[in-house]
């Protein structure tokens, strides 16, 4: 059996985590808060949806809150794929939510997860389009 590369290893976990987050009602993004359908191999951003509003009869999605980023591999942050991941949390209120999510992960990953509170308020989702 051939051994997985580091990128394949991380991609497997980010895909599994993304599916788990979507089941919990969250959405995924890249590290700066741009919404994605498929996660990046080494990092997964966590967006908390904030519903919709009506503008002249059009249903428009509000910008989600970017409440955290889970780094599986990042030298500067100190994340290593096989031993220590780093969760950057944006917003003091998000800390409890994300801690609960970590406890509910579907199966043990056998890695330590370091939690860093990066800001007291959540970030906003970044969009490249008006609506």
> Does residue 130 form part of some domain?
no
The total domain count for the chain is: 1
Average pLDDT of the segment spanning 121-126: 87
Average pLDDT of the segment spanning 33-53: 89
> Does residue 72 form part of some domain?
yes
| Greater model confidence, 125 or 118 | 118
> Does residue 69 form part of some domain?
yes
| Greater model confidence, 2 or 50 | 50
Separation in Å, CA 73 to CA 34, 42, 56, 119, 120: 19, 5, 45, 21, 24
pTM of the model: 0.84
Cα–Cα distance, 50 to 67 (Å, whole number) = 12
Share of the chain above pLDDT 70, in %: 89
pLDDT in tens, 58-111: 888 788 899 999 999 899 999 988 889 999 999 999 999 898 888 887 666 678
Domain range spanning residue 49?
6-124
- Asked whether 98 and 89 are in contact (CB, 8 A), the reply is yes
> Does residue 18 form part of some domain?
yes
């Amino acid at each position: 059996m051939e051994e997985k590369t580091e990128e394949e290893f991380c991609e497997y976990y980010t895909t599994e985590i993304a599916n788990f987050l979507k089941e919990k009602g969250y959405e995924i993004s890249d590290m700066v808060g741009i919404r994605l359908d498929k996660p990046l191999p080494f990092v997964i951003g966590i967006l908390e949806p904030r519903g919709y509003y009506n503008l002249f009869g059009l249903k428009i999605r509000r910008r989600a809150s970017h409440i955290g980023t889970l780094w599986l591999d990042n030298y500067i942050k100190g994340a290593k794929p096989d031993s220590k991941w780093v969760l950057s949390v944006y917003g003091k209120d998000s800390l409890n939510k994300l801690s609960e999510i970590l406890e509910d992960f579907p199966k043990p990953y056998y890695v330590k997860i370091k939690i860093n509170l990066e800001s007291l308020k959540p970030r906003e989702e970044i969009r490249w389009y008006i609506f």
